[in-house]
Amino acid sequence: MSSNNEVPKFGLLTASTPAEAVSLLTQYGDQARIVSGGTDLLYTMKNGVTYKTPNYVVDISSLPLNYIKYDATDGLRIGATTPISAIATDPNIAQYYAVLSQAAATVAAPQIRNQATAAGDIIQDTWCWYLRNNYPCWQNGGNVCYGVLGDNRYYQSIFGGRLTFAVNPGDTPVAYFALNADVTVQGPNGTTNMPISQLLPGVAIVGGKVKENSLQHNEMVTEIHVPAPPANSVSSWYKVRARQSFDFALASAAAVLTMNGSTISAASLVLGGVDVAPHRATAAESYLVGQSLTTSTIQGAAAKAVEGATPLTTGTGNSFRVFLAQGAVSKALTLLQS
Amino acid sequence: MGEKDSTAKQPHSEESESTPLDSKMNRRTFLKASTISAGVIGLGGIALSTGNSTTVVQNPTENLPATSNSDPFASQTVTLNINGKSYEVSVEPRDMLNNVLRDDLGLIGTKRPCNRGECGGCTVLIDGVAYMSCTYPAYRAAGHSITTVEGYNVPSSTESQILNALQLAWVQEDGGQCSGCQPGQIMSATALLLSNPNPTLDEIKAGMSGNLCRCGNYDGIIASIQLAAQNLQGGSA
């Protein structure tokens, strides 16, 4: 399994444009994978995780994709290789997209945030310990989800799954969902633009492989675009972890509310760490519209947000995370109570 | 944390083949010996020269050395500026900065406790920013200014000055217990004080949250950082 605790030998390929990176991926096929920050890929390569140990690595960290641009009309544009720490400390993001700024600030630890990148946080693989320790699960070329019958307390969905039940681990993607972001994807035939919910559709089968993003093997995310925030909108983030820092979410909530005085005129509410993709709480969203934020409506929305949850009852079971998700929603909305 | 053995790692084997040294000697011992001897260049493929290179580049990944995609597995000779000294070293793509520091250059102040980017014990600064060296590809560090826990005595370097103050405060406030995590803690604290010379308790906790201490000596660590910050600001509390 593990090879001396070192990264196995690999060939380094560098590209000077996204198109060139994609053409290298096309040329080397399954033998090659992209590395940007490296905090996801290099870790799993050290653990010898079969499907993630490529012979060639295409390093895109030197591409000119490290930028954050804000414009009042166009909104926010974040380059794929921008470090998470830059998102967490950008003054415009803090002012106009508080939920994203706060979510970025809760990603892992300072050193990881300095290295891990914007696109990487979206398309990283699940941190389910079965996958990361090279169990032959669905996402590792096998045909079983070990979490279902095993220890599913931390990394398995409470909203069901398909083949795999492992949760999407990212924090910033939850904020991007709440902010209705879209992404630019470079493929062999140029770039396409898609809503983030299309990039993270839940369980996807791409090229015969079970994945949790819809990227083809020779595609890469180049930019994330967040529309300009509606006037009078407020947003907040709350993340529940087993320890207060340097941990994945047991449950998180991203809330974006548009206010008309004290009345909510539009609501966007997304749960993280509890489903195979960031989970939009539609029932809670419609419940909130027309209401104002009171203790009672917050409790009501939190209850609606976990309606329809189907926590696993096999293995260890993970129903406790339904309550944590409910609590996360309640906390996030309470932060917006003025 | 196992040392890499010269025989275990094929791509560097040509270095040891050309030397008359005992094959049982590990690379670190060998390199120490070769660095001390006069004819450094050519002995192990590693040259050591002194000089203050203070190139500061905004994005540490901007100047990847040009690699030839025709031979992707080839080792490349890169220049690493570590604690004000310039080192030329041959790295293969899979070498992490931690391996090069500890095993190739003998700079063993930087630890390798978990080797998975989960504990922070291997933290170093690259252009003043904290990274976990066990997960940072060595080739990316080429041309950048690297500071390790050994860099407490670099003339006219703010980082070095902070590092020195922290080390003194660490002794005074018992920042270390078993001290396995200590170099990483001190480097994260250096990055923190570099960007925020007068941090609040919460800012210290947040800045240090990527470093685990198995002894649980967090109070001692926080007290050490507070003392160093105070001393650096001329002793005013």
For residue B39, the domain's CATH number is 3.10.20.30
Q: What distance in Å separates the CA atoms of residue A170 and residue A154, rounded to the nearest whole number?
A: 14
Under the banding of pLDDT at 50, 70 and 90, the label for residue A72 is very high
Residues B118/B106, Cβ–Cβ less than 8 Å: no
- Asked if pLDDT for residue B177 goes beyond 80, the answer is yes
Considering only CA atoms, which of A184, A173, A179, A181 is closest in space to residue A278? A173
Strands B145-147 and A263-272: unpaired
Helices within chain A (DSSP H only): 18-28, 41-46, 84-89, 91-96, 98-105, 110-115, 118-123, 129-132, 146-149, 172-178, 196-199, 282-288, 295-305, 320-334
So what's the pLDDT on residue A338?
A: 74
A316 at B interface, C-beta within 8 A:
no
ipTM: 0.95
Question: Which CATH number covers residue B172?
Answer: 1.10.150.120
The chain B residues in contact with chain A (CB within 8 A) are 2, 4, 8, 11, 59, 61-64, 66-67, 69, 72-73, 92-94, 96, 99, 115-117, 120, 123, 129-132, 135-137, 139-140, 188, 191, 205-207, 209-212
**What pTM was computed for the model?**
0.88
A312 vs B7, more confident? A312
One-letter identity of residue B47: A
Q: Which tens digit of pLDDT belongs to each residue from A256-274?
A: 999 999 999 999 999 999 9
Give me the sign of the Cα torsion angle A199, A224, A226, A297.
positive
A31 at B interface, C-beta within 8 A:
no
So what's the pLDDT on residue A178?
A: 98
**Both B14 and B123 in a single domain?**
yes
Under the banding of pLDDT at 50, 70 and 90, the label for residue B67 is low
So what's the pLDDT on residue B70?
A: 81
Domain-embedded: residue A159? no
Range of the domain at A265: 233-334
Domain-embedded: residue A276? yes
Of B78, B112, B147, the residue that ends a domain is: B147
- Asked if pLDDT for residue A234 goes beyond 70, the answer is yes
A24 at B interface, C-beta within 8 A:
yes
Q: Which residues from B are below 8 Å from A8, CB to CB?
A: 94
A177 at B interface, C-beta within 8 A:
no
Taking CB atoms and an 8 Å cut-off, how many pairs form between chains A and B? 104
So what's the pLDDT on residue B64?
A: 57
Q: Which tens digit of pLDDT belongs to each residue from A112-140?
A: 999 999 999 999 999 999 999 999 999 99
Q: What distance in Å separates the CA atoms of residue B31 and residue A20, rounded to the nearest whole number?
A: 39
**Both B212 and B141 in a single domain?**
no
Domain-embedded: residue B4? no
Domain-embedded: residue A321? yes
A31 vs B3, more confident? A31
So what's the pLDDT on residue A73?
A: 97
Residues A157/A275, Cβ–Cβ less than 8 Å: yes
Domain-embedded: residue A281? yes
**Both B27 and B119 in a single domain?**
yes
Distance (Å) from the C-alpha of residue A26 to the closest C-alpha of chain B? 14
Name A267's bridge partners.
Answer: A257
User: How many beta carbons lie within 10 A of that of residue A146, not counting itself?
Assistant: 24
Strands B145-147 and B76-82: parallel
Tell me which chain B residue has its CA closest to the CA of residue A86.
B59
- Asked if pLDDT for residue B16 goes beyond 50, the answer is no
So what's the pLDDT on residue B50?
A: 38
Q: What distance in Å separates the CA atoms of residue B63 and residue B141, rounded to the nearest whole number?
A: 9
- Asked if pLDDT for residue A54 goes beyond 80, the answer is yes
Question: Which CATH number covers residue A291?
Answer: 3.30.390.50
**Which has the minimum average pLDDT: A219-228, B27-36, B51-60, B128-137?**
B51-60
| DSSP letters for B139-181 | GGGTTSEEE-TT-TT-TT-HHHHHHHHHHHHHHHTT--SS-SS
Q: Under DSSP, is residue B189 helix (H, G, I), strand (E, B) or coil? A: helix
> What average pLDDT does this structure show over A31-42?
95
Residues 6+ apart with CB under 8 A from B12: B6, B27, B75, B90, B92
- Report the number of distinct structural domains present in chain A: 1
Domain-embedded: residue B2? no
Domain-embedded: residue A330? yes
Of B92, B115, B147, the residue that ends a domain is: B147
> What average pLDDT does this structure show over B10-36?
41
Of B124, B147, B170, the residue that ends a domain is: B147
How far from A269 is each of A218, A225, A234, A254, CA to CA, in Å?
32, 19, 12, 6
One-letter identity of residue B230: Q
Strands B85-91 and B47-49: antiparallel
Under the banding of pLDDT at 50, 70 and 90, the label for residue A5 is confident
- Please state the three-class secondary structure of A222-243 as a single string: EEEEECCCCCCEEEEEEEECCC
Domain-embedded: residue B153? no
Range of the domain at B109: 10-147
Q: Which tens digit of pLDDT belongs to each residue from B83-118?
A: 999 999 999 999 999 999 999 999 999 999 999 999
Q: Which tens digit of pLDDT belongs to each residue from A287-300?
A: 999 999 999 999 99
- Report the number of distinct structural domains present in chain B: 2
Does the distance separating the beta carbons of A13 and B69 come in below 8 Å? yes
Instruction: State what percent of residues in chain A have pLDDT above 70.
Output: 99
- Asked if pLDDT for residue B49 goes beyond 70, the answer is no
Angle at A313 between CA A312 and CA A314, to 5 degrees: 95
Tell me which chain A residue has its CA closest to the CA of residue B64.
A62
